[in-house]
C-alpha cells in the first residue's frame, strides 16, 4: 500500500471508530432503562463485533495484494457485505442520536435564556430518549435489508416482460421472443452455488427464439468464467445466441505485468463466448433470417459516456440495410442518447447499471441510487420510435447481493403493428 493509500485508510478507520463510539452512545441512551446485567451484555456484544470488524479491515488492507493475486472476488465482496451489514445500522443510530443531542442542546439553551426559566435546585429535566429509541428500531431496516440481499435477494430472479410493436417488422418475426441477460460477473459467484444454474433454467423455460447477452461476463479475468462454461452451454435459443463485451471484460481495472498478458486474457475470454455457443459481436452486424425474411442485429464493443469508448457504431452499421428492423446490442445505456438516437435503429439493448443493486418501490414507482448517475438506468425508454431497454443485470459486483433490485431476465416479444 502506498503512503497516500495508508493515510487514506487510517482516516477511514478513524471515521469508523468515531461512528462506533457515537453509535454506542446512542444505543446506551436508548436502552437506559436496562438493568446493569443487560447493559453489560450489550456493551460486550457491541464492542466484540465492532473490534472484530475493524481487525478484519486491517487484515484485509495488509493482505490486499495477496487477495488480488488469488482473484477471489467472492471472498473480498463478502468482506464488503459484512462491513455494510454492521455499518449502515450504526449510521442510522448516529443520525437519530445526533438529532436528539441537538434537541437537548436547544432545551438547555432555552432553559438558560428564556424568561422565567427554573432556577437551579428545581426538578431535574429528564433526557428525551425517544429519538435514540426510534433510531435503534429503524436500524433493523438496513440490517435486515442487507442480510436479505446477500442471502436471498441475489438469487431471486425477476422475469421482466416487454411487448414492443413496429410497423416494418417482417411478418415472419411477428411474436419473436427475445431473452436478454446482462452483467453476469461470474467471478462474483462463490464456487458451488446453484444461482447461475437457476437463472439458466428460467431462461430455457421461456423457450426463446433468440438470446442476447449484453456484456460483463466477468469482473476482470477470463478464468472467472471457466467454472461456469458447461452451465452456460445449456442456454437454448432456436435462432441463435449473440453477445457483446462490457467495460469489465477488457480487464482494464486489473494490474497486468505486460500488455501481451492483458491481450491474451481478452482473447481467452472471446474463446469462452464461442465455447458457450454465443457469437460475439465486435462492431459488426449480421442478418437473422426466418421463413425467407430477415432482421438486422448489430453489436458494438463498449462505448460509454464516462467509461471506455472502444465501440465503433459507424463500423457496425456500414453496409446494413436501413430499411430493415434493426436491433443493437450496446453495453452502456449512455451510448443510446450520445450516438444511437437519430440513426433509426429500432431497439437498443443495454445493461451496465445493475440498477445499483439497491432500490425501493413506492406506489408502483422504483427509486434507486442509479438514477442519480444515469438518465436511463433500468427498464424501457422510447423516443421518436427508437426504443431502449436497460437490463438490471444477472449477477453482482462489489456488494454480493441485491436489495429491492432483483437480478433480471428480460423477455421481449416483438409484434408487427
pLDDT band at 181 (very low <50, low <70, confident <90, very high): very high
Tens-digit pLDDT profile for residues 321-351: 999 999 999 999 999 999 999 999 999 999 9
276 CA to centre of own chain? 24
- The mean pLDDT of the chain is 92
Look up residue 153 and give its three cell numbers.
Answer: 435477494
Query: Residue 253, class by beta-carbon neighbours within 10 Å (0-12 exposed, 13-18 middle, 19+ buried)?
Result: exposed
Mean per-residue pLDDT, 190-207: 95
The predicted pLDDT at position 115 comes to: 63
Tens-digit pLDDT profile for residues 83-119: 899 999 999 999 999 999 998 888 888 878 876 655 5
The predicted pLDDT at position 123 comes to: 45
* Strands 210-213, 176-181: pairing kind: parallel
Q: What DSSP element (H or E) covers 381?
A: strand 379-383
- pLDDT higher for 367 or 191? 367
Could you tell me if 317 and 329 are in contact, meaning their C-beta atoms sit under 8 angstroms apart? no
Domains and CATH numbers, the chain: 3-150 (no CATH), 159-416 (3.60.21.10)
Tens-digit pLDDT profile for residues 364-392: 888 999 999 999 999 999 999 999 999 99
* Strands 279-280, 360-362: pairing kind: unpaired
* Strands 386-390, 347-350: pairing kind: parallel
Q: In this structure, how many other beta carbons lie within 10 angstroms of the beta carbon of residue 238?
A: 12
CA angle 300, 214, 79 (to 5 degrees): 125
- Residues of the chain above pLDDT 70, percent: 95
Look up residue 369 and give its three cell numbers.
Answer: 441510487
Residue the block writes with cell 442471502: 151
Q: How far apart are CA 183 and CA 181, in angstroms?
A: 7
Residue the block writes with cell 427508437: 386
- pLDDT higher for 114 or 298? 298
Tens-digit pLDDT profile for residues 120-173: 544 444 667 888 999 999 999 999 999 999 999 999 999 999 999 999 999 999
Q: What are phi and psi of 243, to 5 degrees?
A: -145, 165
The predicted pLDDT at position 3 comes to: 75
Q: In this structure, how many other beta carbons lie within 10 angstroms of the beta carbon of residue 287?
A: 12
Q: How far apart are CA 185 and CA 73, in angstroms?
A: 10
| 192: CB partners within 8 A, 6+ apart | none
The predicted pLDDT at position 91 comes to: 95
Could you tell me if 324 and 294 are in contact, meaning their C-beta atoms sit under 8 angstroms apart? yes
Q: What are phi and psi of 176, to 5 degrees?
A: -60, 135
Could you tell me if 391 and 214 are in contact, meaning their C-beta atoms sit under 8 angstroms apart? yes
Can you spell out the DSSP letters for 84-149?
HHHHHHHHHHHHHHHHHHHHHHHHHHHHHHSTTPPPTTSPPPPP--HHHHHHHHHTHHHHHHHHHH
Tens-digit pLDDT profile for residues 226-276: 999 999 999 999 999 999 999 999 999 998 989 999 999 999 999 999 999
Q: What are phi and psi of 115, to 5 degrees?
A: -60, 140
Amino acid at each position: 500500500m502506498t503512503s497516500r493509500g495508508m493515510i487514506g485508510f487510517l482516516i477511514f478507520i478513524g471515521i469508523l471508530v468515531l461512528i462506533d463510539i457515537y453509535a454506542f452512545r446512542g444505543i446506551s441512551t436508548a436502552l437506559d432503562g436496562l438493568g446493569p446485567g443487560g447493559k453489560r451484555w450489550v456493551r460486550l456484544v457491541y464492542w466484540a463485533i465492532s473490534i472484530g470488524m475493524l481487525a478484519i479491515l486491517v487484515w484485509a488492507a495488509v493482505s490486499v495484494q495477496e487477495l488480488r493475486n488469488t482473484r477471489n472476488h467472492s471472498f473480498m465482496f463478502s468482506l464488503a457485505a459484512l462491513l455494510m451489514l454492521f455499518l449502515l445500522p450504526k449510521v442510522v443510530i448516529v443520525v437519530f442520536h445526533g438529532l436528539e443531542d441537538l434537541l437537548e442542546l436547544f432545551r438547555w439553551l432555552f432553559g438558560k435564556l428564556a424568561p422565567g426559566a427554573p432556577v437551579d435546585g428545581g426538578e431535574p429535566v429528564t433526557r428525551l430518549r425517544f429519538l435514540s429509541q426510534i433510531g435503534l428500531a429503524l436500524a433493523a431496516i438496513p440490517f435486515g435489508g442487507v442480510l436479505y440481499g446477500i442471502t436471498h435477494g441475489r438469487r431471486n430472479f425477476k422475469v421482466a416482460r416487454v411487448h414492443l410493436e413496429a410497423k416494418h417488422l417482417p411478418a415472419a418475426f411477428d411474436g419473436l421472443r427475445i431473452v436478454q441477460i446482462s452483467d453476469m460477473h461470474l467471478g462474483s459467484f462463490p464456487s458451488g452455488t446453484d444461482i447461475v444454474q437457476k437463472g439458466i433454467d428460467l431462461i430455457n423455460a421461456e423457450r426463446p427464439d433468440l438470446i442476447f447477452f449484453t456484456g460483463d461476463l466477468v469482473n476482470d479475468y477470463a478464468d472467472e468464467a471457466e467454472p461456469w462454461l458447461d452451465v452456460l452451454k445449456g442456454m437454448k435459443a432456436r435462432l441463435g445466441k449473440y453477445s457483446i463485451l462490457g467495460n469489465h471484460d477488457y480487464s482494464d481495472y486489473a494490474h497486468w505485468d505486460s500488455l501481451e498478458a492483458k491481450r491474451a486474457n481478452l482473447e481467452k475470454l472471446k474463446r469462452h463466448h464461442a465455447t458457450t455457443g454465443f457469437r460475439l459481436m465486435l462492431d459488426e452486424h449480421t442478418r437473422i433470417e426466418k421463413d425467407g425474411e430477415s432482421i438486422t442485429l448489430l453489436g458494438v464493443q463498449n462505448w460509454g459516456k464516462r467509461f471506455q469508448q472502444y465501440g465503433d457504431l459507424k463500423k457496425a452499421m456500414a453496409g446494413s440495410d436501413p430499411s430493415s428492423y434493426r436491433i443493437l446490442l450496446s453495453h452502456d445505456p449512455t451510448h443510446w442518447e450520445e450516438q444511437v438516437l437519430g440513426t433509426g435503429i429500432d431497439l437498443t439493448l443495454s445493461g451496465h447499471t445493475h440498477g445499483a443493486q439497491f432500490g425501493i418501490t413506492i406506489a408502483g414507482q422504483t427509486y434507486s441510487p442509479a438514477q442519480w448517475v444515469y438518465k436511463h438506468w433500468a427498464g424501457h425508454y422510447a423516443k421518436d420510435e427508437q426504443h431502449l431497454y436497460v437490463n438490471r443485470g444477472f449477477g453482482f459486483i462489489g456488494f454480493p447481493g441485491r436489495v429491492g433490485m432483483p437480478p433480471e431476465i428480460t423477455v421481449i416479444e416483438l409484434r408487427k403493428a
